[in-house]
Chains A and B, each alone.
Chain A
Amino acid sequence: MYGWIWRHLPGNAWVRALISLVLVLALVYVLFQYVFPWAEPLLPFNDVTVDNGTAVNK
């Protein structure tokens, strides 16, 4: 998978390394900005009220 990506990047090794770095950073940004905020409420750390429990259970 990573070898396939590497082979399809343009330029010499330095350019490819730079592009890879940019890709990784973009991926991390997307994860932190969009994916993780969506996934985090699925974990139980948000249930701190007593009445929300009622709303969910009933």
Chain B
Amino acid sequence: MRPRTVVRTLSELCVTTGTLLVLFVVYVLYWTGVRADSAMDRELSRLQDRWSSGAAATAGPSGAPVPGEQQGEPPGERPGEQPGVSPEDPGDAARPPDRPAAPSAQAAPPSRPLPGSGSGQGAPGRQQAAPARPGEAFAVMYIPRFGAGWAKPVLQGTGTELLKKGLGHYERTALPGETGNFAVAGHRRTYGDPFKDLDELRPGDAVVVGDGTTWFTYRVDARPYRTRPDDTGVIDPVPAGSGFRGPGRYLTLTTCEPEWGHSHRLIVWAHLDATSPAAQGRPGALPG
């Protein structure tokens, strides 16, 4: 009688543990995605509501100084084949957070001259409706390579809770279209898998960001770059290791690498290729 009870209890414990593990896998693989998808949909529809109510005021007036198509950044900004000559030495990636944060950047066009860009076009002097509050969605990102329906909200900040509701914008970095580096983090796996296919991005692929008034079309410059988790230089205004040489309007996407691990990070860099007012409809890079 006694051994029988022991064996039975042990078996029941094993079965219970197994069931718990299966449930947890279901939670991680499936349920986080369900929750994240509905949260992202909520953020997207909230953005659309805000834009349709407020955009009429901001986008309508002819005073909105949105430059029309500004095609093609000068080739000087394209990354050379030898990133080693980059002025930003990756070695000092761990520098203190002295990089020029851009809190007032949308009010102030680039105060420094742009030696590298040589394009006399100041920053797009557009007025952002209001700087996004932390945790608030302020833009939508489209990456046609990930599928025609791939559209994710971009939220201000990169907190753990926030990344369950969309992509996260590194707060210290530039806003879309600004000189500097618009850096965005997203989950590779779990929570909707937004950046699951980040490793499939190739040079020339479009990353389109819309903020309600303007479409920004970025073009990927190089194959995804794998780096260490503490390599903060990759989101510098001129990202270290990217091959970009001078100031410019860049985009950085970060996620974890390998897919299910956290030993490294996967980085994708792009440069601003074109902007167009939202009133003109979706840019050519987007299907449909």
Contact = CB atoms under 8 A, between A and B. Distances in A.
Given A47-B262, A48-B186, A53-B230, A40 B27 contact: yes
A12 interface: no
Contacts of B59: none
Interface in A7-56: 28, 31-32, 36, 39-41, 43-54
B24 A39 contact: yes
Given A53-B229, A54-B230, A54-B232, A48 B188 contact: yes
Contacts of B227: 50
Interface string B118-159: 000000000000000000000000000000000000000010
B170 interface: yes
Contact of B163 (A3, A28, A43, A46): A46
Contacts of A2: 12
Contact of B94 (A46, A49, A54): A54
Given A45-B189, A48-B188, A51-B235, A1 B160 contact: no
Contacts of A1: 9, 12-13, 16
Contacts of B188: 45, 48
A49 B170 contact: yes
B160 A50 contact: no
- Of B187, B229, B231, B235, which is in contact with the most chain A CB atoms at under 10 Å from its CB? B229
Q: Chain B binding site: helix, strand, loop or mixed by DSSP?
A: mixed
Interface residues of B, number: 42
B206 interface: no
B53 to A, nearest CB: 32
In this complex, which of A28, A54, A58 has the most chain B Cβ atoms within 10 angstroms of its Cβ?
A54
Contacts of B186: 48
Contacts of A51: 158, 170, 232, 235
B27 A48 contact: no
A13 to B, nearest CB: 20
B254 A36 contact: no
Given A40-B27, A57-B230, A52 B189 contact: no
Contacts of A3: 8
Contacts of B262: 44-47
A55 B170 CA distance: 14
A45 B234 contact: no
Interface string B158-187: 101001000010100000000000000111
Given A50-B230, A51-B235, A45 B27 contact: no
A45 B254 CA distance: 13
Contact of B28 (A40, A49, A50, A52): A40
15 contacts: A2-B12, A36-B28, A36-B31, A40-B28, A44-B256, A45-B188, A45-B260, A45-B262, A46-B187, A48-B163, A48-B256, A50-B227, A51-B235, A54-B232, A57-B229
Interface of A: 1-3, 28, 31-32, 36, 39-41, 43-54, 57-58
5 nearest interchain CB pairs?
A: A53-B229, A44-B262, A47-B262, A36-B27, A49-B185
